[in-house]
Chains A and B, each alone.
Chain A
Amino acid sequence: MAKSWASSWAVNLRNIQKFFGSFFQKRTASFLLLPAPGRWPLLISRLLSIATALIFGGIVFTLCGYDTVRLAVDVAQASFGDLFGLEDLGLIWSPLILTGLAAAVALRIGLWNIGGEGQFYAGAIAATWVGLHVQAPAGIALLLMAVAGFVAGAAWILVPALARAWLAVDEIITTLLLNFVAVLLVTYLCTGPMRDPANAVTAASAHVPYEIPPLLDDLHWGFAVSVVLVFAVALLFGRSVWGYEVRVAGANRHAAEYAGMRVRRRLMQVFLLSGGLAGLAGMLEVAGTVHRLEGGISNNFGYLGIMVAALAGASPLAVLPASFLLALLLNAGIVLQSYGVSKYAVLALTGLVLLSAAVGERLAYYRLAPKLASAR
């Protein structure tokens, strides 16, 4: 009995040795690189990588002398503890849904819209301007503000989109640099032409008289609009010829052109839609939550939207859970601030989640192939 137990251990050890030996020596033979990852490996690797990043972040916080468990409990309590916290979470969640959707839409055609932050500001500017200058019944005024926000966001991405479509200019850099221009433009408007003369303390515009009606107490109908837009965009991209052409153009531009698809036109349409969605997020933030134009109004929503899209992997429906995760992370940042930690620490954590997700996604392409050597 004892002997066989020992020998089976020896066999096991030898097997383990063999396994790791093949792992290190014949690396190319023991892994299969799949052309595309399976659905489940992708999902599992994504969840695992997010968990890894959060655990790593927790370890760093613990090493810095903070009580990570209490922090997590605090975050959970601040987010889910009562209806009030839940509504606040919704208020962070809904702009993230739209900025994430904006970036995800651009990813459908294989391009990056890193300028969500700028388009958000552009939409906020236009919506504020319309809200301050148009006299109309509230419903019509809000609709006009939404249209203005969408158009301004689309206009903000127009030059990078044209340059990408016709001159092959890298869209990442041009869209990103316009973010800084938008921030400076808001600074200028809030200290100059649009500044509220009655408000001597903060540089902000006057109060916009039109408000989006509340869905609950604090949470406004903008949240519902964002969620509905996610489904609408998912339908558009998943169930229409247009969406199919966009996907083909993103996967292989030349094949799409050869098949007679108008790649440049699709590219322009997708980019304008992407910019418009980010602009709409800015409008909802002005009309629903902040009610005026001010410097930090975007709260990094535009940048975080890129992470949302990256985690969602360009799938519009997956934007919902991905943006929820980032909303929770933002809430963690707010709790952290009450501990005296810089609010930027949570930005480092989001970056870590993104890095880990990118690595995890690639790992999902590999499959162990133990029989490959004998098959030859």
Chain B
Amino acid sequence: MIDVLTGMFVTALLAGGVLLLGALGELIAERAGVFNLGVEGLMAIGGVTGIIAVANGAPALLGMLCAMLAAAAFGCVFAASIVLLRANQTLCGLALTVSGGGLAAAVGQSYSGHPAAAVFASVHIPLLSALPFLGRAVFSQNPIIYVIWIILPLALHALLFRTRWGISLRAVGEDPAAADASGVYVLRVQFAAVVAGAALAGAAGAFLTLAYITSWSDGITGGRGWIVIALVIFGGFKPLNMVLGALLFGLITALGFVGQARDWPVPPAFLSMMPYLATIACMILPPLLARQKRSRFLAPAALGVPYFREQR
């Protein structure tokens, strides 16, 4: 039993880590008022870039870096269209999802199905890894796990809520005209936020293919980019709440795997549905139970609205 729980927790940290990494990136963009629906495509690009880099002899960490650069490049195109040209954010996000996924599948055709040439190796921390439950679940993982689950959320929280830069970013997301009037370069902040968020989405993709599933195949992202967007809303646009949300989603995914491994009398297809259904439930239940549309007020006020200085 304890073995099952440990295995479940290991999977949850990996599966949830992918989501958390992507969600933190999405949060940066959304806090700056940009609704990036292209996470799915960016994750696919990051995933395939990581696999290709690793196949050409790069270590896993360098592969992740390449993935971040590739996704950031696509983020630049996206940001140029929606921030500078003010094109429709929903349309451009969908376009990014479709073209990113298509491009990744086309480029990664010859890598499909092979195991990744290098993966993030797990590091056994002396003493701590000998602990009964946490030892295997937490202290025998690859070190990136700590960056994703502890360092990055704390850093982002500090950045958003404790620095000048963070308040500028949030101001741009809440009221770009006021931010503009007080001397913040609205478009520059939005552009930077979108590109940084895209880089994190790329990192999430690389984490998916190099640490969690450790191979590439078409459609490997499997809707995770959309769950990421739901996770940002579920986490109330706060990085630390999103950590708990990601852990919950990770555990639900892991539960499906446990069910398949232990031959529960539920068809595997239904177990695989659980993350999607749980996400929908997580979107619907809070407003249903709260009886007030609180979640709407949690979102940045200018989310998804392009900023025209002329229309102040």
Contacts and interface: CB of A to CB of B under 8 A. Distances in A.
Contacts of B288: 167
A22 interface: no
Interface string B85-111: 111101110111111111111100100
B279 interface: yes
A354 to B, nearest CB: 4
Contacts of A170: 233, 283
B283 A173 contact: yes
A354 B98 contact: yes
A2 interface: no
B148 to A, nearest CB: 22
Nearest to B268: A188
Contacts of B104: 344
B280 A159 contact: yes
B87 A177 contact: no
A354 B269 CA distance: 32
Interface string A154-182: 00000110010001111011101111110
A363 B85 CA distance: 8
A270 to B, nearest CB: 17
B87 to A, nearest CB: 4
Contact of B226 (A169, A177, A359, A363): A177
Contact of A177 (B86, B103, B223, B310): B223
Interface stretch (B5-13, B133-141, B152-160, B270-278): B270-278
A346 interface: yes
B267 interface: yes
Nearest to B311: A33
B310 A184 contact: no
A112 B94 CA distance: 11
A307 interface: yes
B283 A341 contact: no
A374 B97 CA distance: 45
Contacts of A209: none
Given A184-B273, A344-B106, A177 B279 contact: yes
A180 B273 CA distance: 7
Contacts of A114: 94
A94 interface: no
B233 A357 contact: no
A345 interface: yes
B37 interface: yes
A298 B10 CA distance: 36
Interface string A126-160: 00000000000000000000000000000000011
Given A344-B105, A344-B106, A350-B102, A167 B284 contact: yes
A180 B276 contact: yes
Nearest to B306: A362
B37 A172 contact: yes
A358 interface: yes
B34 interface: no
Contact of A344 (B77, B102, B272): B102
Contacts of A172: 37, 90
A348 interface: yes
Contact of B87 (A307, A350, A358): A358
A181 B277 CA distance: 8
Contacts of B277: 177, 181
B284 A163 contact: yes
Contacts of B87: 355, 358-359, 361-362
Nearest to B99: A351
A310 interface: yes
Given A28-B309, A347-B105, A188 B269 contact: yes
A185 interface: yes
A358 B91 contact: yes
Contacts of B94: 114, 306-307, 310, 354
A168 B101 contact: no
Contacts of B109: 342, 344
Contacts of B92: 355, 358-359
Given A177-B276, A181-B277, A344-B104, 13 more contacts: A112-B90, A159-B280, A167-B293, A168-B287, A177-B223, A180-B223, A180-B273, A181-B276, A185-B273, A345-B102, A349-B102, A351-B102, A362-B86
10 contacts: A172-B90, A177-B230, A177-B276, A181-B273, A181-B277, A307-B98, A344-B102, A346-B102, A347-B99, A363-B85
